[in-house]
Structure 1
Amino acid sequence: MATPHQTDDTSTKMIERAPRLDIIIVGAGLGGLATAVSCALAQHRVIVLEASRELAEIGAGLQITPNASRLLRRWGLEAEVEAVAAEPTLLAVHRYSNGKILAEERDFDKKMRTKYDAPFLDMHRADLQKILFNKALSLGVRVELGVRISKVVPGPEVVLESGKRLHGDLVIGADGLWSKCRESMLGKSDQPLPTGDLAYRIVLDLEKMTNPELRQWISNPQVHFWIGPYSHAVAYSLRGGTMYNIVLLCPDDLPKDVSRSKGSVGEMRALFSGWDPILTRFLEQVDQVDKWKLMHREELETWTNAEKDFVLIGDSCHPMLPYLAQGANSSLEDAGVLGGLLSHVKSKEQLRWAITLYERVRKSRSEKIVRETFRQRDAFHMPDGEEQEVRDSLFASQLGKSISCNFPSRWTCPEVQPWLYGYDSYHEADEAINLHPFSSIGGLESE
């Protein structure tokens, strides 16, 4: 297996132009591959280590919000992504029992592009992973599959389970919720914590549908939420309206030590019995389903080591509940900021400066999003009663109007949506550099 210092006949112009840093990324999920792309575009040499023997992104549907879609455009992937995505024209929130519309944003696709100069897209995770993987390879990134790491040690060095050691100038931990890199950073075992919720994940094919109404829902891309006591459902089209992704969020009943298992279709239908008939008709089409325990982690004091040559990104340091669909989007933000900062690094001496800025730019925002996802869960999962009635009255007061308040659905809330979707990772990186140029690094770390 090649180390970051090795080249071969497949080397690209990126490597021929004398990369400044040798970077090792642990994990080839969406965050790891996006970071590989951004770091390669910043003219650094990159190797990605992935434990799986084949790339198989877990999960199905993925909502790419403008804060991430503008990054995909920046990386030259806009056409490829939009060719396999679905762009929803409407976002609606329904009451669980009768499907009554509580909130509705028509022309959602046009409004997103007008407000943020970037689209809101729904797509299959595997499609995005493949696109990022191919882009990384085209930039000269080496992706090594079936490589399990044991730990990261000072150097920085990645120690593989085989005993082999790989040395780089920078190690980036992008190995997800069950991160070995996180444990190395902390120097101890660190297990994810249950949230009390689980998810049923479902994907349906248009070609297998015979019901005309269900076919219409799938082929006309929209986003629909149904919110109810302690649970909610979200559904949206994938692949240009040829697939339908449904996620059901409800109280966790899995054993403590089980994070994923086969689910009972009958049990799932029973849990959502009495919900909106259109949703239950979709559930009648399901013949198998998996259950996923939703996990989170406590905030870390720092995402970097003292030497600033080992850093965490994505779910390894800020895993997010799916209630705002920001897990993958935030990982892509990490990639954009890190790549933007590293594009200014011309020597190893500047690495400490760049990584210090990365943590400063990203940590507070990511943790703010994590907290906001819990607030969205609370707003969507209210049991029937006085508080729910107040919420629904607020929904009703804004229906058909330009929303002018702190709204229960953060997806269209005028106080949350702009800072969430309007974020530009490369602009934030440039602003940080303007405020804290390389010569100011001593003062920066002491602030």
Structure 2
Amino acid sequence: MQDHLHIIIVGAGLSGLATAISCAQTGHTVEVIEQAQELAEVGAGLQVTPNASRLFKHWGLPDSIWHSVVEPKTLTVHRYTGAVLAHDDTFDTHIRARYVAPFVDVHRVDLQQALYARATDLGVRIHLSERLKTLEESPAMVTTESGNQYRGDLIVAADGLWSRCRECLVGRKDDPLPTGDLAYRVVLEVDQIADPKLRAWVQNPQVHFWVGPGAHVVSYSMRRGDMINIVLLVPDNLPPGVSRQQGSVEEMRALFTGWDPVLTQFLSYVDKVDKWKLMHHAEMDTWINDSSTLVFVGDACHPMLPYLAQGANSSLEDGAVLGGLLGHLKSKSQLPQILRLYESLRKSRGEAIARETFKQRHDFHMPDGPEQVKRDEVFLSQLGAEIRGAFPSRWTCPEVQPWLYGYDAVKEVEDAVARNPGIFVTSNL
């Protein structure tokens, strides 16, 4: 590499830290500004699918991440009553055989801390308690509310759903839009669970879905089977303008009256819960500004419903592809073309996944009736058999799963560089 960039990343979430690692690995100078005072335990669980878990080794993440994850052995879809609609008894084996990388469940903060440790090990400077105030595009400069200024060659907008960078690009306030759903997020320690059968359920890692009229639930173990994450997806009843608030445990339980006794028994142990409004954005016209000094990654440009667990995973993909391409930069004059190549590789995929999440919501939230009966017939016709053709659960659908899980960001970069040699040639003149 003949030239290197000074890169300013706005946001130390998963997309920001992934981009920081990927760019620092290839020799660029990276600074990250983050408005939070500390990287605390915000959020709950994440399902890291092979398209993202394969990057852990590539980035050299610390061993701590592997000590904190669990690899679910089975995946089951239930009707809300508890009846089994789909079941993969060797899910972990199938995933590794197909994708040469595992499907793992992890607490968000464990992954964030592993990314943070690797980024700082690579020399990335991370500035906490720094909230973006203004952004100048030419030359690239970020000014924070504390009055500090950060100048660089490129600004990466990794500031999530409520992106201030997005507002700077489009020139107006651009709040996310409600999807009509909200999530109750529940985390239970195994010690909170008295019933021995339910404790064994948590300690023997597995993924379960319950699908019902207008709602569905997903549960999975975390932290070596010491904890279970339960997410309950229901119609949104939060007031306009409220994105998160403490929920009523009684209200939550009432919504699932008559559901599988296993699920309702888990809910009986819950003593507090938060409600999160699920939001999205219209697709952006471009992820790059006119002067090629600002580029977007993650939820700042393609927020999505959590119904395929791809929000975090696709954000890690973004960071890997952007950093990988910038690793081939030989002259700063190549930056505009490299950013356009990044956008061409990532924008259509990110937006297609976001659209697919709404399709999964449709198939998991069907009201009881003829369409639901037909859906269940498709499920049950392949129970215990190798699944073929379109399938209502994209988690094991042979058409959708390979598209999601088979993606290799590192190979994507290598292939793109090979297809576009002219972008990466530097002139001797």
- TM normalised by structure 1 equals 0.93
What is the rounded CA distance, in whole Å, between the counterparts of 1:151 and 1:57 in structure 2? Answer: 28
What is residue 141 of structure 1 aligned with on the other side? 124
Shift of 1:347: 2.4
Residue in structure 1 matched with residue 182 of structure 2 by the alignment:
198
Deviations 1:34-71 (A, max 9, x none): 11111100110000000011112521100000000001
Residue of structure 1 aligned with 2:202, choices 211, 218, 240: 218
SS at match of 2:218: strand
Q: Is the 8 A contact 2:62 2:114 kept in 1?
A: no
Distance 1:239 1:179 in 2: 31
What per-residue deviation string (whole Å, max 9, x for no partner) do you get for residues 366-417 of structure 1? 0110000000000000000000000000001111111111000000000000
What SS does structure 2 have at the residue aligned with 1:413? coil
After TM superposition, give the deviation of residue 78 of structure 1 in Å. Answer: 7.0
CA shift digits 1:233-263 (9 cap, x unpaired) = 0000001111000000000000011111110
Matched, 1:353 2:337: yes
Contact 2:95/2:102 (<8 A) preserved: yes
Residue of structure 2 in register with 1:38 after alignment = 22
| Residues 353 and 438, structure 1, Cα contact 8 Å, conserved in 2 | no
Q: Which residue of 2 aligns with 1:58?
A: 42
8 Å Cα contact 1:29-1:57 kept in structure 2: no
Q: Is the 8 A contact 1:19 1:43 kept in 2?
A: no
Distance 1:105 1:25, change over 3 A: same
Q: CA deviation at 1:439?
A: 4.2
Name the counterpart of 1:413.
Answer: 397
Residue 244 of structure 1 is aligned with which of 211, 216, 228? Answer: 228
Native 8 Å contact 1:350 1:438 kept in 2: no
In structure 2, stretches of 5+ residues that fail to align are none
User: For 1:93-242, what aligned pairs fall within 5 Å after superposition?
Assistant: 93-97=77-81, 99-154=82-137, 155-242=139-226
Give the alignment's TM-score, normalised by structure 2. 0.97
Give 2:128's aligned amino acid. L
* CA-CA distance at 1:208 after TM superposition: 2.4
Counterpart Cα distance in 2 of 1:215 and 1:404 = 34
Shift of 1:124: 0.2
Letter paired with 1:73: K
Deviation at 1:281, TM superposition (A): 0.1
Kept after mapping to 2: 8 A contact 1:200/1:290? yes
Moved more, 28-37 or 162-171: 162-171
Which secondary structure state, in structure 2, belongs to the residue aligned with residue 240 of structure 1?
A: helix
Query: Is the 2:328–2:424 Cα contact (8 Å) retained in structure 1?
Result: no
Q: Distance in 1 between matches of 2:316 and 2:127?
A: 21
AA of the residue aligned to 1:151: T
Q: Distance in 2 between matches of 1:303 and 1:151?
A: 18
| Contact 2:338 2:423 survives alignment (8 Å) | no
**Residue 165 (structure 1) shift:** 2.6
**What is the Cα deviation at residue 438 of structure 1?**
3.5
Q: What letter matches 1:117 in structure 2?
A: V
| Stretch of structure 1 that moved more, 164-173 or 417-426 | 164-173
Describe the superposition over 1:293-350 as per-residue Cα deviations: whole angstroms up to 9, x where unpaired.
0000000000000122210100000001100000000000001101110110122112
Superposed CA offset, 1:161-216 (max 9, x none): 23433210110000000000111111111010000000000000012222101101
- Which secondary structure does the structure 2 equivalent of 1:43 belong to? coil
Secondary structure in 1 aligned to 2:209?
A: strand
Whether the 8 Å contact between 2:334 and 2:423 is mirrored in structure 1 is no
Residue matched to 2:356: 372
Q: 1:381 to 1:310 in 2, by over 3 A?
A: same
2:221, 2:379 → 1: CA distance? 25
Count, aligned residues: 424
Letter in 2 for 1:147: E
Whichever residue aligns with residue 107 of structure 1, its letter is T
Q: How does 1:269-418 map to 2 (within 5 A)?
A: 269-418=253-402
CA contact under 8 A between 2:185 and 2:230: conserved in structure 1?
Answer: yes
The one-letter code of the counterpart of 2:396 is T
| Conserved? CA contact 1:309–1:355, under 8 Å | no
Provide the aligned C-alpha RMSD in A. 1.4
The runs of at least 4 aligned residues of structure 1 exceeding 6 Å deviation read: none
**2-side partners of 1:165 and 1:19: how far apart?**
23
Q: Is the 8 A contact 2:135 2:168 kept in 1?
A: yes
